[in-house]
A and B are shown apart, each in its own frame.
Chain A
Amino acid sequence: MRSRPTILAALYGQSMPRLAAFACILTGNDARAVELVQSATVKVFTRSRHPATLEQAEAKVLAMMRTLVIDSRWRSSAPSADPVAAALAALTPHERVALAMYYWEQATVVEISQALNLSEHGARRCLDKGREALAPLLGEDDEPERTQTLDVRP
């Protein structure tokens, strides 16, 4: 097992762009994204059972960010000049988490429903609302809906 400072250093050195990108989708606001990543990192590395590997650390910080957003403490965001950021910020926390999980984490609708504690129908509706908001800016999603998690990492 690597030490806490070593894993934290690796997280900052290797994982931060991915974590930050995920946080941008979750918040639709740069400043809030910075705050979200930092808060999630602090929470994960404060726990007595800290992550043993970099992969674990990254997964735990991602999950913690989702939890913090779903907890609604990250509901309101300041308006952004970036139209995609503004569209994301206008969505509900659940809709942003659904989008981030589906398009960034390659999660299935079932996995999203479990993370959001919603029915599959509810999770799909969150995803559809997010798609509707982003489609005019980023294009339509013409892929068939995934039923299995892809073994792909951005």
Chain B
Amino acid sequence: MSGLRSNLEAWARERGAEVSKQIAANELAVRQRIQARRRTRTAALVTAALAAVVGVVFIASALQPLGNAPAADKLPRHLSELVCGHAWLVERGSTSFVEQPDYYFDAPQGTWVLTGADGETQTDFSGYTSGEATVSWRGEMHLRHHAIARARVVAVKAGAIVGVTEEQYARIGENGAVTLAVTAPVLGRCGGAASDTGSGDVAFHLVIQLTRVDDAAIIATIVDPSGAKAVQIQPALP
């Protein structure tokens, strides 16, 4: 054994013995410091966890509200506000954004139509088998002064939007009646992503929005002019 190593060890042991006595005398204080720091650490972790949960909930609700998250609780100002995953809380009615909206249109008239795979149509229906029929709203409305009608059908299941058709629009020159035929969305896809099983109890809603040609100002939004259509969709046969 080298002189340096053995002598350093001996020196350290001697000093360490003295120092360890001082350390032992402070044992209680060290235990208290450990407990205090653990409490602080635990509190910080709990606070951080709560903050993380609140943050996640906030971000999730801001990005894609689900279920009962706040969403379409009033008539949408723009049809683009109808988004899959949002809650559907809109009631049947009409909201005008200009004075004298009837200067531009008369209330639409129409009904829900089921078209079977064989092309047969019926208006008195309560359900169908997924993939074997399509639902659409067919009607007409009178437009004046270069108004445009845009429409979407929204599928709602358990209070949440599970499907939205692309906007379909109709216009005519100065005055005249236009035909609206808006097909309901195919369930199972929503905005390009899988969204639903495609079966179950579903309510279809029609949303029509009228705009002016010259400045694209929104004249009015109309929801379910003939009422919503509730259907029971059976799963597709294997």
Q: Which residues of A contact B (CB under 8 A)?
A: 5, 8, 12, 16-25, 30, 33-34, 37-38, 41-42, 45-46, 48, 82, 84-85, 99, 103-104, 131, 134-135, 138-143, 154
Contact = CB atoms under 8 A, between A and B. Distances in A.
A85 B8 CA distance: 10
Interface residues of B, number: 30
A85 B30 CA distance: 25
Query: What 6 pairs between A and B have smallest CB-CB spacing?
Result: A21-B16, A139-B3, A138-B7, A21-B12, A20-B16, A20-B19
A23 B8 contact: no
B20 interface: yes
B27 interface: yes
Main secondary structure of the interface of B (DSSP, over half): helix
A149 B20 CA distance: 26
Interface string B12-39: 1101111110111011011101100110
Given A104-B9, A131-B4, 4 more contacts: A17-B13, A20-B18, A24-B16, A103-B8
Interface of B: 1-5, 7-9, 11-13, 15-20, 22-24, 26-27, 29-31, 33-34, 37-38, 41
Contacts of B22: 30, 34
Contact of B5 (A20, A33, A38, A103): A103
